[in-house]
């Protein structure tokens, strides 16, 4: 009898969930619903100052403007700078790919994924790859030095 009541209870819970999901779909489109679910489940409260600081440091390192960096049509040095941002935000701030793509750069999460995939496949024997790693490490050191200075100033 107990098993039966658990099965019935699970079925009722599933029916309630599906009814709520149907109501949510009438309010949001699928993309909006996914975004709302990610926000509520993930509780994304990332430090916007760190995100902005990474963008600023990358722009300084690569001598590009923020406007150019956020323009998805840019190639060459600007694309490399954007890949630096993706990697720094993902590996140092632990931001999810979708957050970086949707909230920071307003582009496809696959674009961010490809930038990060490039970083994972770098070969230090190749000059462009070594330069990318050197720039990554230089920006990372500046970011951590600034954060340490903030912590010491607060103490």
Domain count, the chain: 2
- Are residue 25 and residue 53 in the same domain, yes or no? no
| Per-residue pLDDT tens digits for 75-129 | 889 999 999 999 999 999 888 888 888 888 888 888 889 889 888 888 889 999 9
Nearest to residue 143, comparing CAs of 28, 60, 82? 60
DSSP string, 24-70: HHHHS-HHHHHHHHHHHHH-----HHHHHHHHHHHHHHHT--HHHHH
- Are residue 109 and residue 143 in the same domain, yes or no? yes
- Are residue 107 and residue 144 in the same domain, yes or no? yes
Q: Give the residue with greater pLDDT, 82 vs 31.
A: 82
**Local confidence band at 44 (pLDDT 50, 70, 90 cut-offs):** low
How confident is the model at residue 48, as a pLDDT?
Answer: 81
How confident is the model at residue 86, as a pLDDT?
Answer: 93
How confident is the model at residue 43, as a pLDDT?
Answer: 52
| Per-residue pLDDT tens digits for 62-76 | 999 999 988 878 788
How confident is the model at residue 39, as a pLDDT?
Answer: 62
- Are residue 101 and residue 148 in the same domain, yes or no? yes
- Are residue 57 and residue 133 in the same domain, yes or no? yes
Q: What CATH number is attached to the domain comprising 68?
A: 1.10.1750.10
Q: What percentage of residues in the chain have a pLDDT greater than 90?
A: 32
**Rounded distance between C-alpha atoms, residue 74 and residue 67, angstroms:** 10
- Are residue 78 and residue 129 in the same domain, yes or no? yes
Average pLDDT over residues 8-21: 83
Per the prediction, the chain carries an average pLDDT of 83
- Are residue 22 and residue 86 in the same domain, yes or no? no
- Are residue 74 and residue 33 in the same domain, yes or no? no
- Are residue 66 and residue 142 in the same domain, yes or no? yes
- Are residue 134 and residue 107 in the same domain, yes or no? yes
- Are residue 38 and residue 52 in the same domain, yes or no? no
How confident is the model at residue 1, as a pLDDT?
Answer: 47
Per the structure, the complete domain to which residue 71 belongs is given by 48-154
How confident is the model at residue 103, as a pLDDT?
Answer: 83
Residue that is last in its domain, among 27, 42, 57? 42
- Are residue 98 and residue 140 in the same domain, yes or no? yes
């Amino acid at each position: 009898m107990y098993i039966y009541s658990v099965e019935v209870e699970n079925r009722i819970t599933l029916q309630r969930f599906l009814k709520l999901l149907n109501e949510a779909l009438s309010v949001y489109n699928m993309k909006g619903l996914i975004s709302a679910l990610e926000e509520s489940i993930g509780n994304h409260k990332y430090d916007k100052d760190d995100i902005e600081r990474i963008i600023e440091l990358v722009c300084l390192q690569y001598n590009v403007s923020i406007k150019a960096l956020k323009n998805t049509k840019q190639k060459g040095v600007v694309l490399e700078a954007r890949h630096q941002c993706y990697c720094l935000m993902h590996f140092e701030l632990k931001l999810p790919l979708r957050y970086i793509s949707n909230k920071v750069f307003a582009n496809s999460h696959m674009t961010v994924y490809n930038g990060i995939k490039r970083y994972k496949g770098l070969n230090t024997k190749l000059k462009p790859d070594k330069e990318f790693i050197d720039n990554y490490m230089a920006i990372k050191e500046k970011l951590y030095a600034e954060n340490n200075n903030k912590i010491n100033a607060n103490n």
